[in-house]
Amino acid sequence: MGSLPVSFDPLNIKTFATESKEVIDFIASYYKNVENYPVRSQVEPGFLLNMHPKTAPPQPTSLEIILQDIQADIIPGITHWQSPNFFAYYPATVSNAGFHGEMLCTALNIVGFNWICSPAATELEMIVMNWLGQMLDLPQSFLFTGKGGGVMGGSTSEALICVLAAARDRALEQFGEDSITKLVVYASDQTHFVVHKAAKLIGIPPKNFRVIGTSLSTCFALAPNVVQTTIEQDLESGLVPFFLCATVGATPSGSIDPVEKLGLLSKNYGLWLHIEAAYAGSAFICPEFRQHLEGIEYADSLSMNLHKWFLTNMDCSCLWVKNPTVLLDSLSTTAEILRNEASESKKVVDFVDWQVSTSKRFRALKLWFVLRRYGVHNLMKHIRSDIELAKHFEALVKSDNSFEVVVPVKFSLVCFRLKPKKEEREESLKVLNWKLMEAVNSSGRAYMTHAVLGDIFVIRCAIGTSLTEERHVSELWKLIQEKTQVILKVRPELESD
């Protein structure tokens, strides 16, 4: 077990099962203990760099030693996204089925850029993208059974690069190649920075990226009339509006842009409308949340990250488009090395032409595993139970007069803060809430991150890691209250209000 082979045999079929089961036991033990580790790693910069040998080992090390080293040296440097007390950023959910699907994907290790490279990989991807599209009640126009289709990738960034490039090339076709410096992208100040980054990557000058302000009055949703005014101003300046990103469930606040109104606007002005639903998209498999996608028939594309809330482990990102031809016009190649009879028959889909990379993992197998192993009803139950936990936390916050919930909770993200006292300025309130958050985080007992909405600093409690139960949420609240006592003691003037 874990002993070294005499001849070098990297895929050693004889030892594969035994060794792999040792690793499985290690992982099982990690999950059993993860609750006991400090959630946010408490190491100092350089902890591992300073400890590690400067050169790669010339000779092999046994599996046992490596696993021991992971336990001793690596685990303390991990911020435990799988801890039930992880409430930072967003939940990166895992599951037995997600893990099993990923194991099979890694073991078969096919590279599915073309249909012929593994017909099952391409067709299963079409199947699960249709299945999930139906679960989300997407219009037929987004599915392979209509005239659209979907593709799986590693990140929203990749999806955005694809749709932005497709929209850009469509605009350049119309307005001429030189117009690239005139193209304008619209998004809100709640929009994830990857949209800005992707727009810059595809050559849109950063000054042509319109970050449209939002406010508490609309729960930080984009106001269509403001978007319209901005578009009109740009048109008057001789610029070319071409792309609007609506976010449904934004990272900072969970805000929901009004899809239908923005869709009509996009239609009027000839903009490509993309719906970015990286986090909240998974919720729309429940009919009671599907309303937030109403009007999607006016959109051109939709992306979401299943590796956030859909139990697929990293990574698993989905993109649906209504008009694959425009995408393929931008991304297709005619490279001789790819030529094969199946592709030339035009009877198959070759996903290399739908995505940035040629490398393509068999992620479809993982999603298929999750969908089949759990079934739609359980997946809905999973979404609803996280939202119930968020409501539970929201109620706890509301029950305490020192606090306020800043944005009404729609999904499983709660944005709250120690609330302002009379005439207290946002800046000092921000310092106070940062201190509270840091006090919680440095305790190692929970981890939350922050956002600034307008000028309001909020602590974000993002609920839903796979191991989080009601007791963890209740414990989190107790911890917050405990730390609040300490914080407020050093700011006694705030207690007297």
Considering only residues 206 through 265, tell me which ones interact with its own copies, judged by CB under 8 A. 251-252
Query: 352 - beta bridge partners?
Result: none
| Among 180, 185, 390, 415, contact with its own copies (rule: CB under 8 A) | 180
Among 38, 167, 188, 196, indicate the residue that binds its own copies (CB under 8 A): 196
The token pair that represents 252 in the structure block: 């900072």
Query: CA-to-CA distance for 206 and 228, rounded, in angstroms?
Result: 20
Cα–Cα distance for residue pair 119/138, rounded to 1 Å: 25
**Comparison of 189 and 300: residue with beta carbon closer to its own copies:** 189
β pairing state of 86-87 and 447-453: parallel
Out of 71, 140, 200, 474, point to the residue binding its own copies (CB under 8 A). Answer: 200
Asked if 482 interacts with its own copies (CB under 8 A), we say no
- 374 touching its own copies, by CB under 8 A: yes
- Listed ranges 23-31, 213-221, 292-300, 406-414: which one lies at the site for its own copies (CB under 8 A): 23-31
Burial of 176 (0-12, 13-18, 19+ CB in 10 A): exposed
Pattern 401-440, binding to its own copies, x per CB under 8 A? -------------------------------------x--
Number of residues that bind its own copies (CB under 8 A): 160
Please give the residues from 446 up to 465 whose contact with its own copies meets the rule CB under 8 A: 449-452
Q: What's the closest the beta carbon of residue 289 comes to its own copies, in angstroms?
A: 17
Compute the least distance from the CB of residue 316 to its own copies, in Å.
Answer: 10
Q: Select from 21-29, 209-217, 219-227, 286-294 the region that touches its own copies (CB under 8 A).
A: 21-29
Stretch that binds its own copies, among 238-246, 370-378, 391-399, 412-420 (CB under 8 A): 370-378
Site for its own copies in 375-404 (CB under 8 A): 375-378, 381-382, 385
Site residues for its own copies, 50-109, by CB under 8 A, read 52, 54-61, 63, 66, 70, 73-82, 89, 92-100, 102-109
- HEC readout, the chain: CCCCCCCCCCCCHHHHHHHHHHHHHHHHHHHHHHHHCCCCCCCCCCCCCCCCCCCCCCCCCCHHHHHHHHHHHHHHHCCCCCCCCEECCCCCCCCHHHHHHHHHHHHHCCCCCCHHHCHHHHHHHHHHHHHHHHHCCCCHHHCCCCCCEEEEECCHHHHHHHHHHHHHHHHHHHHCHHHHHHEEEEEECCCCHHHHHHHHHCCCCHHHEEEECCCHHHCCCCCHHHHHHHHHHHHHCCCEEEEEEEEECCCCCCCECCHHHHHHHHHHHCCEEEEECCCHHHHHHCHHHHHHHCCHHHCCEEEEEHHHHCCCCCCCEEEEECCHHHHHHHHCCCCHHHCCHHHHCCCCCCHHHHCCCCCCCCHHHHHHHHHHHHHHHHHHHHHHHHHHHHHHHHHHHHCCCCEEECCCCCCCEEEEEECCCCCCCHHHHHHHHHHHHHHHHHCCCCEEEEEEECCEEEEEEECCCCCCCHHHHHHHHHHHHHHHHHHHHCCHHHCCC
Residue nearer to its own copies on the CB measure, 261 or 382: 382
Q: Which span sits near its own copies by CB under 8 A: 237-245, 260-268, 444-452, 477-485?
A: 444-452
Cβ nearer to its own copies, comparing 36 with 345: 345
Contact 328, 353 (CB under 8 A): yes
Minimal distance, residue 189 CB to its own copies, in Å:
10
Per CB under 8 A, which of residues 117..176 are in contact with its own copies?
Answer: 117-121, 123-124, 126-128, 130-132, 134-135, 145, 154-158, 161, 165, 168
Q: Which of 48, 216, 395, 431 binds its own copies (CB under 8 A)?
A: 48
In the complex with its own copies, the residue whose CB is nearer, 180 or 259, is 180
To its own copies, the closest distance from the beta carbon of 404 in angstroms equals 20
Minimum distance of its own copies from residue 302's CB (angstroms):
17
Q: Which residues contact 387 (CB under 8 A, 6 or more apart)?
A: 283, 411, 412
In the complex, the smallest distance separating the C-beta of residue 65 from its own copies, rounded to whole angstroms, is 8
Stretch that binds its own copies, among 12-20, 288-296, 319-327, 399-407 (CB under 8 A): 12-20
Question: Is 305 one of the binding residues for its own copies (CB under 8 A)?
Answer: yes
**Quick one: 81 or 298, whose CB is closer to its own copies?**
81
